[in-house]
Amino acid sequence: MGQQHTTKRLLKLRRSGWQLGFLATLVAIVLTLTNCRSASNPTHVGTASSPGILVYGSGGQPVNLESGNITDGNSVVVQNQIYNRLIEFKPGSTDLVPGLATSWTASSDGKTWTFKLRPSVKFHDGTEFDAAAVKFNIDRWWDKDNPFGYRNAGKTYDIWNQTFGGTKGEPNSLLQNILVLDKSTLQFVLKQPFAAFPSAIAAGFLALPAPQPSKKPPQPMERQQVGQSAREHSYSKNGKQAIALC
C-alpha cells in the first residue's frame, strides 16, 4: 500500500514538473514574440541616402537561424522576419490567430489535433508549402533517428524537448504521431489531452522553413534561409552582424 502511494506521488510530481516546464517556456515565448513585433516596427528606417534599407540594432547576434534549433530571443527576432508558423500570436497578446494553418480542432478526447493549412502558399525557392512540409520539419525536431536532423553534427533541438517532453519513443514525449491526411490537412496525435497545444506549436522557435535546404548537410550561418514570409534575407558574420532583408 505504501509503495503504491509513493509511486502515485512520484508520477504526480513528474507530471507537475513537465507542466511547470511548459508554462515557463510559454511565458518566454510570449515575451520574445512581443519583443519581436516591436522590433519589426522600428522608428528608424534608414536615411535619405539609403532608401529601402531597414536598420535594426540587435541586443546581440543570433545564435543561429535554424528553426527548431534555437532557444535565444535574438535568433527568434530574425527568424520572425523570414519564416511563418502554423499559428501566430496576435501582436502584444497571447491570443492565437491563423498563420499557415487556417483552423485547428481537437478530438473529443483532446488527444488528437487536426490542422487545416492555408492553400497556395509557396516558399521563397518556389516549392509548395503543404502538410508534408510541416511533417518534414516536425520529424527533424522530434525523431532522433531522422537522417535530416543531423544530430551527429551537434544539433540538439532542445526547445522541442523542453516544450513537448521529449523525442520520439521516449516515455515522456507528448507527441505520439503526426499524420498527413492530405495536402492541406494533418493531425498531431498526443499521449494525453493538452489544451495548450496550439499555443505551444505557435512558438517563435518552431517556424517552418522549406524542406529542401534542410536536407543538405549542416553549413555555416551565411547560407540563405528559405521561408514563406514577404522577406528573404542574407546574413554575414565577420566580427559584425549584417542582415539584409529584401
CA atoms within 13 A on the CB side of 205: 26
Better-predicted residue by pLDDT, 48 or 171: 171
* pLDDT of amino acid 138: 97
Read off the pLDDT band of 128 (50, 70, 90): very high
What single letter denotes the amino acid at residue 130?
D
pLDDT above 70 covers what percent of the chain?
67
Q: Which pTM value belongs to this model? A: 0.72
The segment with the largest mean pLDDT, out of 18-27, 45-54, 66-75, 118-127, is 118-127
Q: Which of 22, 41, 133, 42 is nearest to 84 (CA)?
A: 133
Determine the number of helices (DSSP H) and then strands (DSSP E) in the chain. 6, 8
CA 233 – CA 226 distance, rounded (Å)? 9
pLDDT grade for 59, boundaries at 50, 70 and 90: confident
Confidence of residue 55 (pLDDT cuts 50, 70, 90): confident
CATH architecture of the domain with residue range 2-44+51-245: Alpha-Beta Complex (3.90)
- Whether the CA torsion 34, 39, 44, 48 is positive or negative: it is negative
**Segment 29-40 mean pLDDT:** 46
The confidence score (pLDDT) of residue 127 equals: 92
pLDDT reported for residue 20: 52
- Mean pLDDT, range 192-219, rounded to an integer: 90
